[in-house]
Amino acid sequence: MSRIRSIAYHFPEASLTNTQLAELFPEWSADKIVLKTGIETRYIVAKEETALDLGVRAAEKIFKSEPALRDIVDGLVFCTESPDYTIPPNACLAQSELGLSDHVIAFDYNLGCSGYVYGLSIAHGLIASGQASTILLITAETYSKLLDEDDRGVRTLFGDGATATIVEKSLHNEIGKFAFYTNGEQAHNLIVPHSGAATEKLKKQEKTLIAGHKAYDKLYMNGPAIFQFTLDIVPNLIQRCMDTEELSYEDIDHVVMHQANKFMLDNLRIKCKIPNEKFVIDVKDGGNTVSNTIPIALARALDSGTIKQGDKVLLAGFGVGLSAAAVVVQI
């Protein structure tokens, strides 16, 4: 049995505001960007700054508030799609930088906006199987390095950031049963085409798979296809998750979905029939930081008192893969 003990987050120093974006893309005003996306500011890493740097900074915030945890952590799981290297994994580098035990189980996994919920599932499983008792789950992304500077659609949405969560063994099961959804047939709708070993193979397919995309080494996002995917599968995923736990929205205090953008969240809330007062939207400061958005929204809601200790919170992440996951946790 396991629970979330603490969450911390970290943003890089430099920011990209709507005013700056409107200067770069004069056909959009700052007002229109915030009206449509709900995002005012995204944080962007410096050229030499990496996901490892951000993740370590987030984890150090946890160890600063609870120094004893550094020696207790026996598992380190690192979620990133923008690792410092193809080889080795960020988790091993983070183990060294953070001064964690050399007995720690440490590995990376590659997932996008469903990554945090998956991370909770992995941590929960490692604890349940007795392989670890205190997991440091890091999510860290530097998507800004993957964006085409001329692609207005993605630059208005995505920002960089990192989070650290301690998941620990507990007397009561405070992390519930998970629901998952995967559809690899639609993987090409959110992809960096020339980013791995399949580059040569993809060159034969890209005209049909990603028509209109100009920078094959940068992120391609078919926004309407991703939006349709969320409208089609997220309501069912959430219902499946609640059915497994025999819960309804009456039993749940808050819903924190992946903070893609305000437009998507507003429409998902309506389609899922989630009471407005239980629905957390936190995109204004930071934007879409991929696997980081759920823990950032959780941490801020805890800091502000919106979410209190003991609350039941439904989490749902969805995106790259295409992949989605949901779970109910008691904070």
Which residues contact other proteins (rule: CB under 8 A)?
Answer: 27, 36, 153, 211, 222-225, 227-228, 231-232, 263-264, 267, 271
What is the phi-psi region of residue 277: left when phi exceeds 0, alpha when psi lies from -120 to 50, beta otherwise? alpha
Minimum CB distance to other proteins smaller for 163 or for 222: 222
- Token reading at 176: 């519930």
CB of 95 to other proteins, least distance (A): 41
Burial class (CB in 10 A: 0-12, 13-18, 19+), 320: buried
Greatest extent of the chain over all pairs of C-alpha atoms, in Å: 56
Task: Report the Cα 231 to chain-centroid distance in Å.
Answer: 19
> To which H or E segment does residue 180 belong?
strand 179-182
**Residue 251 and residue 312 in contact, taking contact as beta carbons nearer than 8 Å:** yes
**Residue 22 and residue 28 in contact, taking contact as beta carbons nearer than 8 Å:** yes
CB of 168 to other proteins, least distance (A): 40
Minimum CB distance to other proteins smaller for 73 or for 260: 260
- Taking Cα atoms as reference points, which of 261, 116, 91, 238 lies closest to residue 177? 238
Distance separating alpha carbons of residues 251 and 305, to the nearest angstrom: 19
Minimum CB distance to other proteins smaller for 32 or for 308: 32
Minimum CB distance to other proteins smaller for 273 or for 308: 273
CB of 181 to other proteins, least distance (A): 16
CB of 229 to other proteins, least distance (A): 9
CB of 267 to other proteins, least distance (A): 5
CB of 147 to other proteins, least distance (A): 15
Minimum CB distance to other proteins smaller for 264 or for 299: 264
DSSP-based three-state secondary structure for 5: strand
- Token reading at 76: 């380190």
Minimum CB distance to other proteins smaller for 18 or for 163: 18
